[in-house]
Structure 1
Amino acid sequence: MSKILTTHVGSLPRIQKVVDFIFARENGEAYEEADFDKAMTEAVDETVRRQVEAGVDIVSDGETSKISYATYVKDRYTGFSGDSPRNAPADLKLFPSFLQRLAESGGTPQYARPMCTGEVRSKGQGELQKDIANLKAAMAKHGAKRGFMNAASPGVISLFLQNDHYPTRETYLSALADAMKAEYETIVDSGLDLQLDCPDLALSRHMLFNDLSDEEFVRIATGHVEALNHALRDVPHDRVRIHICWGNYEGPHVCDIDMAKVFPVLMGAKARYLLFETSNPRHAHEWTVFRDRKNEIPDDKILIPGVVDTTTNFVEHPELVAQRIERFTAIVGRDRVIAGSDCGFGTFAGFGAVDPEIAYAKLTALHDGAALATSRL
């Protein structure tokens, strides 16, 4: 009997030593590169060990060396300088007292968001190769059989690092796709699966495009997927994961676009594995979209619903995790479901709503719930 596998979206809490090194680099402070590299290697080793201990089947490096899942590209590609305008999500603007509370409590991450002010080109893959080597070494040491590495999609880069160089957004997306293509291929060529983080397909609706209609936004999101698919044209689709979300923050989320409206966009991505939110209170009901539109899910797609939340410190009961998994196995079958998380636990270095120890407790609950579902199917 094949078991239901477990994984997560990618980022995990970073220890303070790692955070200090990352922000020293971010702020242009002096540090020893050898010490930085040693800290990252040791931290990835521990991160993989803890994932294996928690029962995670498909592990990541926790995005340990990255300042964030999208803006890390400013350190690895040319063409970025200055600062991009900050725009709070539309739902937080509707509740200004809550937005102010977040700001005053340090509840919003602080990091550079330069604009694109020149041609986007790779500075070389030295940092990427270090990340790959660290993850593979840790997997070999701790017995993890399968791993993945995150990379930013062209669309999410355009969301956080806005264009002030290329004549149009479409031209910028095309340039980003061309620049990121080699990174995607290098990850897959290393033997790891590639995960593309694509909150631009949902989050950007209420961050950057809130003046458009839903229909107009869906056309833009479709263009983002077309750019991504172009970058993936030489990558086997069965080695690709894609993650869509509405923003990994505790907030009202009353401006989120419905999954039903972006469903065709998600299905159009050249990715076999689809990761999406189904645990938080704003999107938990949307498992019915997959049930009601089962015939629109291509037969080669594997669903990875988020069956644990990443914005609260509740640890889900394994029975609840199992119930969430079983909703999807009833739709596409047990062999086409992997249990995942709603989003990352360390989306930005040094910032996360979930206590680090509780994050791993949630991963353990993920494993226990998957085991329970397996035993019943």
Structure 2
Amino acid sequence: MAIKSTHVGSLPRTQATVDMIFARENGMPYDADAFAAQMTAACNEVVRRQVEAGIDIVSDGETSKISYATYVKDRYTGFSGDSPRNAPADLKLFPSFLKRLAADGGTPKYARPMCTGPVKSKGQDDLLTDIANLKSAMDTHGARQGFMNAASPGVISLFLQNDYYASRDEYLAALSDAMREEYRTIVDAGLFLQLDCPDLALSRHMLFADLTDADFLKIAQNHVEALNGALQGIDPSRVRVHICWGNYEGPHVCDIPMDAVFSTFLGVNASQLLFETSNPRHAHEWQVFRDRKSEIPDDKILVPGVVDTTSNFVEHPEVVAERLGRFADIVGPDRVIAGSDCGFGTFAGFGAVDPDIAFAKLGALSDGAALANARLSDRV
């Protein structure tokens, strides 16, 4: 079975798309029909470019979303005001770099409200529109498999902090109940559901920097339990889960090791595991999967990031193939999919990688997967 190619989800939006998203975000007048037409056209184009780059399992690029986590404020009740901003601990250790990022526009600005009331769905209309746009674009361009991102209860609690529920656990339970229908709707549409869970790693040095690793892992486990509650009844083979330490160029010297979060990560009821292995801080952690191979259930599929998403270097296909080969040697090529470290458009209008270079990286990812497949077939 050949190694397929995919990515984490978000891709660069066009300026016209960004302008419309921020007009709506900022409460400015905008034409709803024009907005809908723009999102449909933009989704069609982003799927075309993925297929052109050779990507097997495509997404809508999160085209209509302001960000991968805070989009929920528009689709669920209970959010208002603004949440406190807290820079990651590693950036605080290098204040001159943090200042430079802010001065250069390296930190995105967008609404991040608090939870100030009961969290309830406003309905699935926006989601159904996104699904229809993606499936139409897949049909047009011949993509056979697609996935759609959704925020996990834990990552929502990280960025949209609680000022209503009596405890973090109560907030997580409410989020779990609220998100369940979104997750089910995506799977029922025939798409893979991707759950974005940077809360299982990033939040260690962003929100819980004052805790010990052991205490943080207890919180992360609670996040997983809330997520699994929302996934109840959904086939894990239709679910992908993504963990990361923050999709930003920085020192990352405060990142909790993969070895520490490994068991928690594997505890999500999802078959496909997406994680970072390309950037300089986590490239060595393929060894964790090698050394703890016996702990990886047979139904888990590894989706290592074989291209970085914070640098404009385009990885050589040989490097991609080398990275994929390591994981194929651990679990077999039938349980490996080539992925990216994170998204290329985590926030609308913001991304370290030039849009055209982002798609060049996806092309390198696909070429590297083809090279790895050729080498693996030669072994047989």
2:216 aligned partner: 217
**Under a length normalisation based on structure 2, what TM-score does the superposition of the two structures give?**
0.99
1:171 aligned partner: 170
Distance in 2 separating the partners of 1:319 and 1:277: 18
Supply the AA of the counterpart residue of 2:337: I
Distance in 1 separating the partners of 2:47 and 2:26: 28
Distance in 1 separating the partners of 2:257 and 2:16: 40
Distance in 2 separating the partners of 1:23 and 1:49: 24
Answer yes or no: is 1:290 the counterpart of 2:328: no
Helix, strand or coil at the partner of 2:52: helix
Distance in 2 separating the partners of 1:124 and 1:170: 24
Size of the aligned set, in residue pairs, is 376
1:346 aligned partner: 345
Distance in 1 separating the partners of 2:227 and 2:361: 31
Distance in 2 separating the partners of 1:370 and 1:236: 27
* 1:241-276 deviations in Å (ceiling 9; x for gaps): 000000000000000000000000011000000000
Q: Percent identity?
A: 75
Supply the AA of the counterpart residue of 1:264: S
1:367 aligned partner: 366
| 1:3 CA displacement | 1.7
Distance in 1 separating the partners of 2:299 and 2:2: 19
Distance in 2 separating the partners of 1:298 and 1:109: 38
Gaps of 5+ in 1: none
Helix, strand or coil at the partner of 2:143: coil
Distance in 2 separating the partners of 1:55 and 1:44: 17
Supply the AA of the counterpart residue of 1:231: A
For residues 1-377 of structure 1, the aligned pairs below 5 Å read 2-377=1-376
Supply the AA of the counterpart residue of 1:206: H
Q: Which runs of 4+ in 1 moved over 2 A?
A: none
| 1:350 CA displacement | 0.2
Supply the AA of the counterpart residue of 1:4: I
Helix, strand or coil at the partner of 2:261: helix
* 1:14-47 deviations in Å (ceiling 9; x for gaps): 0000000000011000001100000000000000
Helix, strand or coil at the partner of 2:337: coil
Distance in 1 separating the partners of 2:4 and 2:105: 36
Distance in 1 separating the partners of 2:334 and 2:207: 37
Gaps of 5+ in 2: none
* 1:108-142 deviations in Å (ceiling 9; x for gaps): 00000000000000011110000000000000000
| 1:234 CA displacement | 1.6
Supply the AA of the counterpart residue of 2:202: L
